[in-house]
Each structure stands twice: as structure tokens, then as C-alpha cells.
Structure 1
Amino acid sequence: MIKHHLSIDIETRSSVDIGKAGLYKYAQSPDFRVLLFAYQIDTFPVEIIDLACGETIPERIKRMLDDPGVAKHAYNAAFEWYCLNRAGYKTPLEQWRCTMVHGLYCGYTAGLDATGKAIGLPQDKQKLSIGKALIRYFCVPCKPTRANGNRAWNQPHHATEKWQLFKEYCKQDVVTEHEILKRLDQFPMPEAEQHQWRLDVIMNAYGVRVDTKLIEGALYMNDISTRELTEEAVRITGLGNPNSGAQLVPWLNEKCGREQFADIQKATVAEALESREEYPEDVQRMLEIRQQLGKTSIKKYTAMDTAKGEGDRVRGLTQYYGANRTGRWAGRLVQMQNLPRNYLKTLDYARGLVKRKDYAGLRLLYGNVPDTLSQLIRTAFIPSEGHKFVVSDFSAIEARVIAWLAGEQWVNEVFATHGKIYEATAAQMFGVPVDRIAKGNPEYSLRQKGKVATLALGYQGGTSALIAMGALNMGLTEDELPDIVTRWRQANPRIRDLWYAVENAALAVMQTAQPQAIYGLIFALEGDILYGQTFLTVRLPSGRKLFYPKPFLKENPFGKLALHYYTVGQQTRKWEVASTYGGKLTENIVQAIARDCLAVTLERIAEKGLQVVFHVHDEVIIDAPMKTTVEEICDLMAEPIDWAPGLILKGAGFESSYYMKD
């Protein structure tokens, strides 16, 4: 039973760049210190303890840090929890609540300042804007100079006025966090989600081991490759800096005899190399060099090397609730969500060459060194000593979830039997027996249409969605695409109906303020009179809710009445208005349910005493004892879920001594 609430904010210092290396390595630095400790007990005034100037945390507060009857609150609580434990103050994770995560759950952004403004805090309750400069002054090492007495750190006595201001800044963060919490408490976060957050913090703190020899070899080889390619580019072009667009574009156009290139961006170069156009030999080679020099994925090796901490482990790779609308996890530091795929059949041999720094051997056998290093990035993640990776992911989870939600029975039957959804979709679309869509038969060409339609059209997409999914690269023509859209929608009438039902439910809630229940979902308008917050919420089968803050209705650019709400813009990263429609709402709901299926799986794996080291989309990577089998993990993923009766799930996996795409 909770007796008291303790809101906390600390200020710390470390020579490790937290932005590049992450929280965990930052706090592992030998020069890490907690400088200030601000706290508020219940609704009493905020107090601050100046640890840097010799004050100590009172015994009563130390006891509260370890008291299960005291709920500890902080904005980005993983930081306070980990840093305080590193500094010797025992405080168990299960007693902490993260106000930032609660805000993300309710549809707000991640930053304390931005959330305070979005939530509508009065000016005196908002975060002070002076913090960044003060943090740079007191929390980051300074450059030793003769003028500052060759000191490495600015201490409180070096700028007493600034230090007093810094203490006020720390106290104000507690005020802001506490005020945000008061408003969010009107919309509680399920205990199951609190538990998921704790699992995520434990996973991030545990980290994943990296192959330091492979990273060293890759960075070494990349340096040689970059130097050689640059020298070759200078020889071919005669330019001072052939990597400069301003210099290279005119050269390319002059060699082509026409204005062929407007820029040398990655997509432009890739499109030119994939086209069937014949370029002069030196232009062709220069485009190849440009593509190889443009491989940014090598930066992931640098990110791993920078973030690698105790035990050669990278920690803090995922952000809980990083995908604001659906609650999916997001990647951090190495950005695991967009790792390059590997196609090499001889990964072991290529890894050996890189670890031995055998540049000549790698180039001789594989030719394109940057591409080979890119393909090996996944393999830099390795299990703990005496362990193996067991990797498993959900097969076609979004297709399964949307069919289950909509009641598209023929799709559910496919997943309950042979599982060949692309073939079955093509058969349904074109009225041919599914067994005819097999290699060697003329009907097999229909499988491509079934595949791209399944992947692209589930959320009310049209021809542009097919093109975005790569339909034209599959050999389909633009003329064929409208027919594919029509046939897919005719073959999936219940999914089509789901889009319009979802949209109409959202509009009805906004127009009547009355809840609407459809397909096991509950749409409602929620708000509080005290602070004036309003949300359109969608209660999912799991009990979790999706939040759309400050919703309102107005016409969209197509002249249709549509739901609008506030969110963080993907391009601008600012709090702004967005509009939505049935297909997009359906996408949010389906991806959120798929996310909840993954959350159930993570719980089941934890209950087995196994440690997930990271997960990517619908795939889990377990640092497993040798006795763990792929089958038992796949079985866990396929087990029925209580809140989703009839949803048929399937896991597919493999085991390995390093991470890869199987």
C-alpha cells in the first residue's frame, strides 16, 4: 500500500557524452557524480540537497528511497533510478513510476519542457529555459586553459550565482514533473504497462554484448576503403573534393553531355545505377564509388564503439513507448529498427577476415568492402559467454491481427491451416485454386500481386501504397495497380468495412460525446473538468488505450469531415495538429494490438527466467543458456492470448552465435 509519494530530480556530471553513449555508460564513468538532489514529499514544498557542496541526503529520505510504501516519481525515471543506485543509494526499480512514460501513454511528447507546454501548465509551473547552458557549465568537462587555472570541471565556487540558479532549475523540474503527474493521474496507466516499462529498463540495463574485435576491424577497414575510394575518385575526376555535390554534379553532367544529374543524393545515385541507361565508363565507376562512400551504416559501428560500457555491453538500445501513437518501442543509440539486412552466405568467413583486419582478403573475396561491412553490422551483437542467441519473430502478425479484428474468416482459416497468405490472397483475388499458385505453374506470377497487395492495402491504401511497397520494382506496371486495389478490396470486404466502421465510430463519439463499441474496441471522449484536458481514446482488447489529445472535427483538404488532434509532427518534431481517417486509425489499432502481443510474449519469456537483450519490430533476441530451444520460444509466441480469443499467432526462429537476419 502506498503511504507517500516522492518526486525526485537529480543533476549529475560525467565526462561521457550521454547523447552519444547513453545513460548507462554515462553513469558508469569513474568521474560520474550526483551534484544536486531535489525532492518533494506528497504536496509539501520542494527541497534541495546540495551534494556537490558537502550536504548529505537525510536518513529519512534514504529510507524512503528503499521503502515499498513510498512511490518514487521522476521524469524519465530510469535515469534517476540507475544513477542513484550507481551512486550508492539503494532504490528498487519496482517502486518507481515514470512520469515521462505516463505522458507518452497519454499521447504527449517525451521532453519535460515540451510536455509541460503541450499539457498547458501555467508559466510558473513550466521548466526553466536556462537549464542547457547551466548543464554545459557544471555537468560537462570544461577545456583546461591558463585563464581557468587548467581545471577540468567548473565547480560551484567558480560561479556562485550560476550555481544558485542551477539549484532553482533543479527544484523547478520537480515542480513541473509533479504538476504534469497531477494532470496525468486523471488518466491512469494500467499496472500491466508499468510492469512492461520495468521489463524494458531491466533489459536496457542488462544490455547486449558486442564483438569488440569485429568493431575494431570494421572501423579499420572502413578507413582504408574510404581513403582508397577517395583517391580513385580524385584520379578519375581530377576534382579537389569529388565527394562534394557542388563539384561532382557539373563533372557528371559534362561527361554525360547533358543535364543528367541535379544532385548526388543517395536515392539519385541508386536510381541511376539501377536504371538501364548506359553511362560512360568513368561516370559509371564514379557513381559506384559515390554509392560506396555514401554508406552511412558504418556509423553504427562507431555508435556501438562509443556506447560500449562495462563487460563490452551496449546498454539502452530501446525506448519504451517510443512510437507515440501505438506504444511500440523505438530504437536508440545504434537504432536497431533500421539495421541493414545481410545476404552473404559466408558470414562466418567474412567476420573472420574483418576480425583479422585482412583488408586485401575481404576486398578480393567480396569486392565491395563498404557493402560487406554493412551486411556484418548485425553480427557485431553477440551473446554472453557460454550463451547463444535464440531469435524468434511473429509471422505476418499485422495480417493476422487485422483479419482477426475484422472477422475476415477466409484469412483466419489460411493462418489456421497452411499459412500461405500471399498465395491464398492471389487465389481469392483472381479466382484460381490456391494449389495452382506454385512454382512451375503460369499462375505463380499472381503470387507477387497477392504479396504486394497484402503488405500495402490493409490500411485503405491505393495505387500509391502499392508503389511505396515496391510494386513497380516487382515487375508490375502502373496500369495493373488499380485492378489489384479493386480485387483486393473485393476479396477482403470485412477488412474494408472495418476502416469505415472505425472512422464512423470516431466521428460519432466526437459528435455525440457518447462511447461507441465496435469489433471489441471502445471509442470514447475522455476529459477532466479541473485541468481542461480532452482525449479521444480507443480501448484495445488488452485493456490498454490509445490517446488522441485535444481532438476536434473539421474538414480535411479533401473536403471531408475528419478527426483532427494534436501530436508531435514526424518531420517538424513540434506539437502540432494532424488529421486522420479510417484506414490510418485502423493501422494505429492493428499495430497497437500487435505490439500488445509482443508485450505478452516478453512477459512469458521473463517468467521463464530468460533475458531478452533487445527486440526489433516483432522479433525478440534472447541471450539464452545453451539448453534453451528455438521450439520452446516459438511455442511461447504461438500460445493463445486471453484477451484475443481466436487470434492465431505463429513464431518462427533460429539460434546463432551472433545476431543476423535468417
Structure 2
Amino acid sequence: MKTLSIDIETYSSTPLQKSGVYRYVEADDFEILLFGYSVDSGPVQVIDLACGERIPKDALQALEDDAVIKWAFNATFERICLSRFLGYPTGDYLNPESWRCSMIWAATMGLPLSLEGVGAVLGLEKQKLTEGKDLIKYFCQPCAPTKSNGQRTRNRPFHAPEKWDAFKKYNLRDVETEMGIQQRLAKFPVSQTVWDEYHQSEEINDTGVRLDMELVAQAIEMDTLSRQKLTTSIKHMTALENPNSVQQMKQWLADNGMETDSLDKKAVNELLKKAPPELADVLLLRQQLAKSSVRKYQAMENTVCADGRARGMFQFYGANRTGRFSGRNIQLQNLPQNHLPDLAEARGLVRCGDFAAVELLYEDVPDTLSQLIRTAFIPRDGAQFLVADFSAIEARVIAWYADESWRQKVFEQGGDIYCASASQMFKVPVEKHGINGHLRQKGKIAELALGYGGSVGALKAMGAIEMGLTEDELPALVDAWRQANPKIVEFWWSVDRAVMEAVKYKHTTSLYGLTFSCRSGMLFITLPSGRKLAYVKPKVGINKFGGECITYEGVGATKKWERLDSYGPKFVENIVQATARDILCYAMQTLRCCSIVMHIHDEVVIEADPRMSLEAVCEQMGRTPPWAKGLLLRADGYTTDFYKKD
């Protein structure tokens, strides 16, 4: 036996969507119902475990044999469930090294992250059966007890034999569909480097990170108390039945002479500028009430495993346009920042449940709880967190690609890119907290908004107006940045031409260390690392301005599969972010012997022995990969007893 293709159907009273698979399998009633498999692409067998059948000995042994490659779509689910089935305890799982995931393979080709979606896009002969959702709801989840079902809380095969037969067919078809994906993508194999990165990502997911559950429980309790007090205060001031209702609040404001279409954060901030004191007080309380800080804490409660660690928080290749990671369960990619100067003290007060002190010292309780979310992640006893992140990684990568020499010099000399950018734009020296220091903010916002072809709209989206810039200043800021960075602008349009040539004429073009090619209905951009970005079914289309542009199929803003259009600067954004991702993965591979428990954007968090050298880790992380000669990297870090933004 060389390969085993697997798909399983399971039952657990723990909701999978809320808890993630690591917590899901810990339920006392967890069981595998069906085990569908194929040996070496042979006929699919379905083992009906729920009705007493047993997995054949050779298939069972193969699960623990690292010489046999196991395939599944979203293989993490199968691997963790089968670990539990085999009796592995919490924290110990089947070795990911011998597992391959056809969902990851699909993602590397720019395809959807669902089996149904991939099958549809590839036009497979054997598609996933659509009745599966109803069957999963019926057999895999608890049911509500009713008079007609005899007050049972679970449906078993004998309750609906016809449905059970259909469920077995569904399980068999899933294995066939997964094998169909492998066959269809066989000419585009995933490189060993990407599989190595996937296996490390799985190891990090398996290790998990410890949570301070005392802090989490107290934060949830404190939030409930805070919400009750805020609601009572607003009711007293407005006489509204439900102050949470947007409709009721908008009506109350209108009755008091203040019309508004929205009550989102931005709109409320605008209203506060002109609101009379009595309305401003209500709006401020409403703003506190709207803060959803407690959701992250609830996600922690839902996800935490029996040993106090949260697992499975990283989706490898979650952003399939660039290959970057995305978040799962607690969603580490969008944690609120912390700005409290006495973070440890605030944390201590919340942890011991001293609501009165938190309210007295910090006034805005929801905001304080929000700022403490990061601090719920803690190292194991006797260890500390070592946090290291890349300095201005995207700015460094785009400067390296475009060979914008003045920017390279800034990085070489350890300068501040925001000051240097403002200096280049306004032709005067700019120093942070020094000469022309007020211009640094303009340099910063220009850097963040304009690197990928953004204009006035991008500056506004980045908060330029809120930061004190006027509408009239913005076009000049765009022009100044572009004139200061002519090689980056040239890079955008060179990439635009190369992509157009590849799609229109099927020419293969190499420039800036990148290769642009088209084959088998796919556009590929090969990065210096050797990894390819893939765009499905590219065509030449017409953009909203009436000019030619490249269109391709992908998941759009509506989360649906649709035709999207793109142009040079947007492709450059993909290239730069994908390269930053490759640099992070290279650094993580070099730090593989360290215990990486989290990584957020361009930052790694290591659960470290206090004797481990921060300097050595930052030096190692800042090493330039062999494929990126001339790229200047730098990593900075700090040690801490709980996670935070330093």
C-alpha cells in the first residue's frame, strides 16, 4: 500500500463550527460513523462503523505507518478524528508528515476551499452529492426531542434506514470526488517545500497555545455586568425599550434633532463632533455597548481543550490568492491592539474580578476588556513568550523588487521609512519627534495606502481624513508619493504588461525575478522562491474605465465564485504579500526547533525557555532566504509573560 484516500463521517454533541475539530473530538459521545477509503486509487470501500463493521487491519495499520501517504480533503479533520478513534490523548495526534490535503492542493491552484466548489469549477464527472448537508444534520448532530421522535436527542441508522443508505453513498462519493481532484490536478503537483510548510503549520496547530481561563471567565462575567449597567443608563436617559436597536436609537436621535443614516463607529464619531452634551453622553454609552470584545473570549471558551490549550487556529493557504495564512476559531488575524500603559495592572484587576476598580480606574470597561484579549494567551509554566516580527516587511519587499535605491538605503542604515518617505515627498528633512516631525504622519499614511496603485480613495479608506488631512491635500499627496517612487510605479505597469502578454499571446516573460506564463487555462506568476501564484481561466476583459484588463475566476468580496478583474498594481500587491509570506515561512522553517505556538501576519510567538536568546532568534529570523539576494530584512522582538502588542 502506497496511498490511502480517506473521508469520514462523525458524530459529536459539541458543535464543530464553534469549537474547531480539536475540541469537537473531546466530547464523550464523539464517534466515527462511516470510514470511506480507497487503497492506491482502487475502488472505494465504505466501512459502516455505526452498525458494527470494522476497519480492515491493513487500513488501520496504514494510519500510523509514515511510509503510507494519507490523502483527504481538509485532512486536518480526518487526522485529528482518527487520532481520537485510535485512542490518542489530548495533545497527542497522528504525525502530519505522512498526510496530504487535496484542499491545500486546490488552494495552491486558486480554487475554492470547499469540496463542492472545487468539484464544480473543475467540472468533475463525479461531483459531491448535494443532499449531504441534510444527511449530516440528521445523523451527525444532536436533534431536538419532540413528541413525534419519542423525545430522542440523536438520530441513528435504524431510525431512517433509507437515509442511512443515502448517507453511505454520500460518503463513498466524497472519496471519489477527492480522488477526481487529485487526478485533475496531477500535472500541477505541489512542491515538497509547500508540503513541508503545511506539515509545520499542522504541528503548530497540534501544539496549540495555553489560555488563561481564569481571565477569560472573569472578562465574560465583567462584560455581562458592564452591558447591564450601560443598558440601564441608556434606558434611563432615553426611555427606549431596547437601546441596542439601531432603528429605535436612530428614531430617538431624530426626535432630538439629530438625523443619521448609520450608527457604525465612523458615523458615531462624526456625530460626536457636533452633538449637544446630552446626546453626546448617550452616543458615548451606545459606542461602549456596541463593542463586541466579549466574542473573542467566548470563542476561547468554545475552543479550549481539556489541557487548557486552544488548537487549530491557523488555516494554511487560507488566502489562496497569495498563499497567506488565515485565522480559525479565535481569529488571531484581527485581535484588537492594546494601548494601556499599565496593561499588567488592568489584567490583574480583571483576573481577580474587581469590577468596581476596573470601572473606577478605566471608565470604559468594554474597551479595557477589548485591550486585554491578547493577554489571555499565556505560556506554559516555567516558560515565557518570545515575540519577534519583521520590520516594514512589505515596504522592504516592494523596494527590493523595484530596486528603488533610496528606500534600500533607508533600510540599510536602519532608518524610519515613514520619515524618509515624507522627506522624499516634501523635499525637506523629517525626523520623528524632531524637525518637520508633523510630516511623518503624511509619510506613513502615504506608505500604507499608495504602494499598490491606491489613490485618494485608498487614503480615505486608511483614515486620512480622521488623521487630520483635508480633502484638498489628498491628490497632491498621491502625486508626491508617486513622483518620489518612480521605480515602484514602473514596476506596477511592467507587471501589467507582462500579465497581458502572457494571457493574450501565451508568451512566457521573465522580469524582476518573476516569471509570467499561461497554460492549461491558468495564469501563473512564479515567485523568486519558486512558488507559483495561480489565476483560474484568465481572459482579457474591459474595466469600468473602458480600458483592457485581465479577468479571472476567484472568490470575490461576496464570498462567491465569480469573475474578477485585476491590473498591474493589484498583481503587484499579490506578489509582494505572497513574497512576504514566503519569507515568514522560510523563517519559521529555520526556527522549527523552537516551539512556535502562534504567528500573526509577520510575527512569530515562541513558547520559550527563559534561557533562550531573543537576540539569536531575531538574528535567525532576519536572515535573507537564498532566493532573495539583496533583500534587506530586520526582525525585532521582546519577551513577555503574556501575549501583547509591544
TM-score range, shorter chain: over 0.9
Q: How far apart are the structure 2 equivalents of 1:240 and 1:307?
A: 35
Shift of residue 322, structure 1, vs aligned partner: 0.8
**Relative to structure 1, is the Cα distance of residues 438 and 394 closer, same or farther in structure 2, using a 3 angstrom cutoff?**
closer
**Relative to structure 1, is the Cα distance of residues 404 and 440 closer, same or farther in structure 2, using a 3 angstrom cutoff?**
closer
1:447 equivalent in structure 2: 440
2:576 equivalent in structure 1: 590
**1:62/1:89 contact within 8 Å kept:** no
Q: 1:437 aligns with which of 417, 431, 450?
A: 431
Q: 2:122 aligns with which of 119, 122, 128?
A: 119
Q: Tell me which amino acid in the other structure corresponds to 2:484.
A: A
**1:8/1:74 contact within 8 Å kept:** yes
1:632 equivalent in structure 2: 616
Q: Classify the secondary structure of the residue corresponding to 2:463.
A: coil
The within-5 A match list for 1:435-584 is 437-441=431-435, 443-527=436-520, 534-570=521-557, 572-584=558-570
The within-5 A match list for 1:252-271 is 252-256=253-257, 259-271=258-270
**1:269/1:290 contact within 8 Å kept:** no
1:611 equivalent in structure 2: 595
Q: Tell me which amino acid in the other structure corresponds to 1:466.
A: L
**Relative to structure 1, is the Cα distance of residues 327 and 471 closer, same or farther in structure 2, using a 3 angstrom cutoff?**
same
TM-score (norm 2): 0.97
Q: 1:92 aligns with which of 82, 91, 95?
A: 95
Residue 142 of structure 1 pairs with residue 143 of structure 2: yes
When structure 1 is superposed on structure 2, of 58-67 and 380-389 the one drifting more is 58-67
Residue 408 of structure 1 pairs with residue 404 of structure 2: yes
2:165 equivalent in structure 1: 164
**2:5/2:41 contact within 8 Å kept:** no
2:77 equivalent in structure 1: 79
The within-5 A match list for 1:172-183 is 172-183=173-184
Q: 1:327 aligns with which of 307, 323, 328?
A: 323
**Relative to structure 1, is the Cα distance of residues 68 and 333 closer, same or farther in structure 2, using a 3 angstrom cutoff?**
closer
Map Cα deviations across residues 533-562 of structure 1 (whole Å, 9 max, x no partner): x11000000010000001000111111111
Shift of residue 360, structure 1, vs aligned partner: 0.7
Q: How far apart are the structure 1 equivalents of 2:313 and 2:67?
A: 31
Map Cα deviations across residues 568-616 of structure 1 (whole Å, 9 max, x no partner): 112x21110000011000000000000000001110111xx21211111
Q: Classify the secondary structure of the residue corresponding to 2:107.
A: helix
Q: How far apart are the structure 1 equivalents of 2:158 and 2:440?
A: 73
Map Cα deviations across residues 162-202 of structure 1 (whole Å, 9 max, x no partner): 11111111001001111011111211111111111111111
1:643 equivalent in structure 2: 627
Q: How far apart are the structure 1 equivalents of 2:95 and 2:607?
A: 24
Q: How far apart are the structure 1 equivalents of 2:388 and 2:407?
A: 23
Shift of residue 98, structure 1, vs aligned partner: 0.1
Shift of residue 119, structure 1, vs aligned partner: 1.6
Residue 390 of structure 1 pairs with residue 386 of structure 2: yes
Q: How far apart are the structure 2 equivalents of 1:97 and 1:574?
A: 26
**2:514/2:525 contact within 8 Å kept:** yes
Question: Where does structure 1 lack aligned partners over 5 or more consecutive residues?
Answer: 528-533
Q: How far apart are the structure 2 equivalents of 1:471 and 1:352?
A: 36
Shift of residue 440, structure 1, vs aligned partner: 4.1
Q: Classify the secondary structure of the residue corresponding to 1:563.
A: strand
Q: Classify the secondary structure of the residue corresponding to 1:550.
A: strand
**1:255/1:280 contact within 8 Å kept:** no
2:34 equivalent in structure 1: 36
1:338 equivalent in structure 2: 334
2:219 equivalent in structure 1: 218
- Residue identity (%): 47
Q: How far apart are the structure 1 equivalents of 2:60 and 2:99?
A: 14
Q: Tell me which amino acid in the other structure corresponds to 2:466.
A: N
Q: How far apart are the structure 2 equivalents of 1:128 and 1:480?
A: 56
Q: Tell me which amino acid in the other structure corresponds to 1:264.
A: L
Q: Tell me which amino acid in the other structure corresponds to 1:422.
A: Y
1:23 equivalent in structure 2: 21
Q: Tell me which amino acid in the other structure corresponds to 2:228.
A: R
Q: How far apart are the structure 2 equivalents of 1:424 and 1:262?
A: 41
Q: Classify the secondary structure of the residue corresponding to 1:474.
A: coil
Shift of residue 477, structure 1, vs aligned partner: 1.7
Shift of residue 76, structure 1, vs aligned partner: 0.4
Aligned-CA RMSD value? 1.5
Q: How far apart are the structure 1 equivalents of 2:268 and 2:423?
A: 38
The within-5 A match list for 1:291-440 is 291-432=287-428, 434=429, 437-440=431-434
Shift of residue 14, structure 1, vs aligned partner: 0.8
Q: How far apart are the structure 1 equivalents of 2:542 and 2:146?
A: 61
Q: How far apart are the structure 2 equivalents of 1:246 and 1:323?
A: 36
Q: How far apart are the structure 2 equivalents of 1:469 and 1:456?
A: 6
The within-5 A match list for 1:217-256 is 217-256=218-257
Q: Classify the secondary structure of the residue corresponding to 1:321.
A: strand
**2:204/2:596 contact within 8 Å kept:** yes
Residue 60 of structure 1 pairs with residue 63 of structure 2: no
TM-score (norm 1): 0.94
Q: Tell me which amino acid in the other structure corresponds to 2:423.
A: A
Map Cα deviations across residues 429-450 of structure 1 (whole Å, 9 max, x no partner): 2223x4x535343x22222222
Shift of residue 475, structure 1, vs aligned partner: 2.1
1:530 equivalent in structure 2: none
2:195 equivalent in structure 1: 194
Q: How far apart are the structure 2 equivalents of 1:243 and 1:416?
A: 52
Q: Classify the secondary structure of the residue corresponding to 2:415.
A: coil
Q: How far apart are the structure 2 equivalents of 1:150 and 1:389?
A: 50
**1:234/1:241 contact within 8 Å kept:** yes
Q: How far apart are the structure 2 equivalents of 1:658 and 1:207?
A: 15
Map Cα deviations across residues 459-513 of structure 1 (whole Å, 9 max, x no partner): 1111222222222223222222222222221221111110000000000111211
Q: How far apart are the structure 1 equivalents of 2:325 and 2:607?
A: 19
Residue 656 of structure 1 pairs with residue 643 of structure 2: no
Q: 2:46 aligns with which of 45, 48, 70?
A: 48
Shift of residue 42, structure 1, vs aligned partner: 2.5
Shift of residue 5, structure 1, vs aligned partner: 2.4
When structure 1 is superposed on structure 2, of 467-476 and 300-309 the one drifting more is 467-476
Map Cα deviations across residues 239-288 of structure 1 (whole Å, 9 max, x no partner): 211221222212111212xx522232333223323x2x1x2332111101
Question: Where does structure 2 lack aligned partners over 5 or more consecutive residues?
Answer: 89-93
2:3 equivalent in structure 1: 5
Q: Classify the secondary structure of the residue corresponding to 1:296.
A: coil
Q: Classify the secondary structure of the residue corresponding to 2:317.
A: coil
**2:387/2:638 contact within 8 Å kept:** yes
Shift of residue 355, structure 1, vs aligned partner: 1.3
Q: How far apart are the structure 2 equivalents of 1:582 and 1:145?
A: 59
1:101 equivalent in structure 2: 104
Q: How far apart are the structure 1 equivalents of 2:41 and 2:363?
A: 66
2:91 equivalent in structure 1: none
Q: Classify the secondary structure of the residue corresponding to 2:25.
A: helix
